[in-house]
Amino acid sequence: MIIRKLSHPHWHRTVNTIVAALIFIVAGSMLLGRNLDLVSDYVFRIVISWQMLLIAFGLSSLIKRNLTAGFIFLVVGTFFLIPVITGVEEEWFRTYWPVIFIITGVVLLFKRRNFKHHGGWKWDGCEHATSEELSSEDGFVKADVSFGAAKYIVLDPVFKGADLDVSFGSVTLDLRKTSLEKPQTHIDIDCSFGGVELFIPAHWNVQVEVDSTLSGCEDKRHISQAVDYEHRLTIKGDLTFSGIEIKN
């Protein structure tokens, strides 16, 4: 049994709107408070800082269940905010900066363990691929790639969807040798600090509903005049410092 990750683009957009609104409200309040001498320079430097912005991104990602990116943002933001709060010397940075790598590794390790616990996927006996060409068995692609690159070619007559989870890596999904059968088929993407390349036939009707944080998605296909409007491929998910390219 394949367990697919649910995507909630409308909820994610709501979270983004709330977080953006809170950032503007807090920033405006702090600026007004400083102008009225109600907020000290010490508090202002802590709240209005790029470190606090990273922490806000982290909390937003955690709310949207993008745990990997959320924890990384929180760790990096908190790490660099500590010297501002405590006033420690520069020597503190030179001594403890490797902690960021340790915590990032632990987060990725638990993410991998959790994925396997809930039913990992296998391709020809391998749990993931690095710079290899692999084909699906039942038309559904489920991938979890961290610090690597993988390419998947769907050779089945019917493409049934995909669930792509990428962290610090890249995934290529080739759909040019398959077709759509259902009125709507989904590709769910959760990509943090990585990239996803999708090869999709020019006549497919593609709808993009990704939620992005400092990321982008671009459809570079030469769209065919005979677009198949009876079938639709919907691309959903979360992008954090990542990119999606759609080609044919």
- The string of pLDDT tens digits covering residues 65-92 is 667 777 878 888 888 888 888 777 667 7
Q: Which residues of 25-64 are buried (b: 16+ CB within 10 A; e: fewer)?
A: eeeeebeeeeeeeebeeeeeeeeeeebbebbbbbbbbeeb
- Round to whole Å and give the CA distance between 169 and 152: 14
Q: pTM of this prediction?
A: 0.59
Question: What tokens does 71 get?
Answer: 């924890």
What band does 13 get if pLDDT is binned at 50, 70 and 90?
Answer: low
Question: pLDDT per residue over 108-157, tens digit each?
Answer: 666 555 544 444 333 333 333 344 445 455 788 988 887 778 888 888 89
Q: Where are the domains of the chain?
A: 9-116, 120-247
